[in-house]
Chain A
Amino acid sequence: MARFVGRRLLYLLPVLLAVTLLTFLIAALLPGDLAYTMLGDQATPEKIAALRATMGLDLPIWQRYLHWLGGVLQGDFGRSFRTGETVLSAVADRMPVSLELMVAAEVLGLVIGIPLAILCAVKQGSAIDRFLTGLAFAKLSLPSFMVAILLIYLFAVQLNWLPATGYVPFTEDPLGNLRSFLLPAMTLAFAEWPVLMRVLRSDMIATLQEDYIAMAKAKGLKPARILLVHALKPSSLTLVTVTGINIGRLIGGALIVETIFALPGLGRLLVAAIYSRDFIILQGVVLFVAVGFVIVNFIVDMLYAVLDPRIRHGRA
Chain B
Amino acid sequence: MAAPRGGRRPGAVLACALVWLALIGCAAIFANLLPLPSPTEMDLLGKRALPDAQHWLGNDQLGRDMLSRLIHGARISLSVGLLAPVIGVTVGGALGMLAGYFRGPLETLTVGGVDVLLAFPPLVFALAVTTYLGQSVLNLILVIGILGIPAFTRVARAVTLSLTEREFVVAARALGATHSRILLREILPNVALPLTAFFLLGVAVTIVVEGALSFLGLGVPPPAPSWGSMIGEGRESLDLAPWLAFLPAVVMFMTVLAFNVVGDSLRALTDPRPGAL
Binding site for B on A (CB under 8 A): 14-15, 18-19, 22, 26-27, 30-32, 130, 137-138, 140-146, 149-150, 152-153, 157, 198-199, 202, 248-249, 251-253, 255-256, 259-260, 270-271, 274, 277, 279, 282, 286, 289-291, 293-294, 297
Contacts and interface: CB of A to CB of B under 8 A. Distances in A.
Contact of A145 (B112, B215, B277): B215
Given A251-B121, A270-B127, 20 more contacts: A15-B112, A18-B116, A19-B120, A27-B132, A141-B256, A142-B253, A146-B231, A146-B249, A146-B252, A146-B253, A149-B235, A150-B249, A152-B235, A153-B246, A252-B122, A253-B123, A255-B121, A260-B235, A286-B125, A293-B121
Contacts of A130: 8
A30 B124 contact: no
Contacts of A277: 131
A231 to B, nearest CB: 18
A30 B133 contact: yes
A153 B253 CA distance: 17
Nearest to B117: A22
B211 A137 contact: no
A66 to B, nearest CB: 19
Interface size class of B (residues with CB under 8 A): 35 or more
Interface stretch (B39-47, B49-57, B98-106, B237-245): B237-245
B128 interface: yes
A256 B121 contact: no
26 contacts: A15-B112, A22-B120, A32-B132, A32-B134, A130-B8, A137-B264, A142-B253, A143-B208, A145-B212, A145-B215, A145-B232, A146-B252, A149-B231, A153-B242, A153-B246, A157-B242, A202-B277, A251-B124, A255-B123, A255-B124, A256-B216, A260-B235, A277-B131, A279-B132, A293-B119, A297-B119
Contacts of B134: 31-32
Given A252-B121, A290-B124, A30 B129 contact: yes
B235 A256 contact: no
Most buried by A among B112, B119, B275: B119
A15 B212 contact: no
B242 A202 contact: no
B250 to A, nearest CB: 9
B218 A274 contact: yes
A274 B242 CA distance: 28
A145 B119 CA distance: 23
Nearest to A143: B208
Nearest to A130: B8
A30 B132 contact: yes
Contacts of B238: 149, 152-153, 157
